Structure formats: C-alpha cells, structure tokens
Chain A
C-alpha cells in the first residue's frame, strides 16, 4: 500500500514530496469497469486513461514478465489527483475549523486527506484504505518538523525544503504511522 505526501506553499507551489510504500496489505478494490476495458498499453497515456476510467487495481503484465503497476499508480496521475483535491480542500478549509481535514476527496482507490498549518501551508496525503488515527499522528509529526524547518532564517514559506534531515525524519514518521 503506497502513500503520497505533498507539501504545498500558501500559493500552492510544491515544496516537498514523498512516496512511501507501506508494509501493510492493500485492501482489495474491485472495479467492475476495469475488467471491461480494452488494454491501452500501446498509448502513452495508457496510465491516465486507465486511472480515469477506474481501472485502478488492474496490474498489467508486460511481456518480460515484470509486473507493471496499474494506471492509478502512475506518477502524473498521482499528481493530477492531488491537484484536483486542492479545489475541494480550498472549499472545506473555509468551513471546517480544524487543521486536519480527513478524507476530503476520493478518486478511484485514492483518498485525499489534508492538513493546513496556521501559515496556510498544506500537507496533502494520498492514501488507500482508512487509517484516520495513523494519518493524524503522521501529520502532527510532519507539522512539528515543518515548524522547525521554518525557524531557519534562510527558509521562507515559499522555498523548497531540501533538508536531508527533514526528509529522513518524515520517512521515519511515515514508517511508524502509515
């Protein structure tokens, strides 16, 4: 089961992103649409199309025998889903008085959860399956790390986070909670 974390500045530019493979098993999602679809493997946009059509967990076997992950796992699809989630987040954040906005958006197998810091930086997490408490704990740890990063005088709310320590701490936290 994989998780994708994006940290976005107040003006929605990406500051940091992380892909985490969790050891926990994937809940089996069956999409009736997926089985009826032709194989798009020749098209460059195969991933996008399969993802959009809901063929999420359809893993395709290439001729070499290697397993290609389904369209929903493609990098650009992930980014698209995260970006689409932003619209919903923007809407919800003016209604909900909490920082942790759980499961604001759903797209095929992906659920989008978000965390808004007081300075309006957004943490967006794409995840499969339900894990509210773990995600909350994960966000709280990322927030603490983010505050510490911000205290650096060379860091602003709009500079990309390049700290190696930040990265390893976030990874450790992801291993612990996700």
Chain B
C-alpha cells in the first residue's frame, strides 16, 4: 500500500485538525463501535500470525496477577488518551462521555478478570446478588484491582435513596493532571466512572455513573463518583428483602 498521506498513527498530533472530522460525529458513536482505521487492517493482513506467535489462550491468567504498571508510563498513556479524546469532541460534557465510554470498555474486562482470579479456583464460584455487597465490592476489590488500593469512602445520598457515592481522596489517574481554569468542570475520573458503570451493568445493577470534583483543603484532587441506580434495581432490591 502506497501512503498517499502520512502514516495515520503518526499524524495524530500534527494534522489532526483536518483528519479528525471523520472520527468526530459524537452522535453516531455507540458504546461498542470502533472508529475505522484503514491502516490497521492493512497492517493485519501484511503481518500474518506465524505458527509460533504466542497466543492468549496459552497464557495463564494469573501470571500478571501481582504485576504492576509503571505509574509514569500510565500517566503518559492516560494523558494521551485525554488529549486524543479532547480533539474529537465538542465540549466538556462530550469529553466526559467519551472518557466514560473508554472506561466502560475497560470495566467489562476488569470485572471478568478480577472475579475469575478471585473465584476461578473455587469449587462453587459465587455471584453477588445484594446491592450493598456489590457496592462494597466495587469500593474495595475493583479499586484494588485497577488502582492498587481501595477507595476512601462509600456513602449513600441523604436526599435521593437511589444515589450512592464512592469517594477517592487522591485518584491515581488524576495525580498528574491539572485541569485548565476555563475547563474547571471537567473531571477526568469520568474514565473511572465508566469502569464502575461497566461493573454494575455486568452484575445486572444498571446505573448512570458520573464523576464530580469535590475538592477539600486537605485533598485538592478529591473526586466523587456518583452512582444513580436505575429504578428497576431498587424495585428488585425491595422484593429481595
């Protein structure tokens, strides 16, 4: 294939202003859609997997259980994610939604893998049925699996019985992000909100999850993940009592 234009993967930073138009269209992005990247297909067809290429099915899932990703590598990657997304959206709300979508994709996988590691060797693997135990699981296990430490608090809203809040005093993903003043509404933890949404969705507790900055003097990065559960969940919970 002859490159009539510069390699698309290299051009992200330089000429994204005109190439981003076809990726943009926020109305058509569904949660599971992938933007069409022509270069990807051509590279797949040219590099056929050899017979000795390692296969995910041959790898034990517990191999990387205690492995950790370098924080600076992650910070760099995440900053690129935010920049990439920002170029393709039309506002803060849109940006948060896109980050949420990306987090969702991660969350579905994190959930399966996390539970497999916990229950995969057990004789009778268990599922969580109660709302409170699911929220506790998100608060401790999911946070531990994704960020290496538990979240700081889990609260229930006083005004609305269908709202719960998970509070992180110093979210790992925002540690190296300083949001410009004119975008002070933006919370990059929308990514985390997406993860939480995927986990709750997977365990059949559908909810709308958003993230909000709630700084205190002691913790300027303090973030609240707001979980607004769907009506059906609360109704089912009533029945189970």
The chain A residues found within 8 Å of chain B, CB to CB, are 10, 93-95, 97-100, 116-120, 140, 143-154, 156-159, 163, 165-166, 169
Contacts and interface: CB of A to CB of B under 8 A. Distances in A.
B56 A98 contact: no
A163 B58 CA distance: 14
B230 interface: no
Contacts, number: 78
Given A119-B112, A144-B61, A156-B108, 10 more contacts: A94-B129, A94-B240, A97-B126, A97-B127, A98-B124, A99-B125, A140-B120, A148-B57, A148-B61, A156-B105
Instruction: Give the size range of B's interface with the partner.
Output: 20 to 34
B203 interface: yes
Contact of A98 (B115, B127, B240): B127
A144 B116 contact: yes
B111 interface: yes
A163 B11 CA distance: 32
Contacts of A94: 129, 236, 240
A117 B112 CA distance: 7
Contact of A150 (B55, B108, B128): B108
Contact of A119 (B111, B125, B126, B240): B111
Contacts of B10: none
A156 B101 CA distance: 13
Given A119-B108, A120-B202, A148-B61, A99 B113 contact: no
Given A99-B127, A145-B57, A151-B109, A156 B119 contact: no
A138 B128 CA distance: 22
A152 B108 CA distance: 11
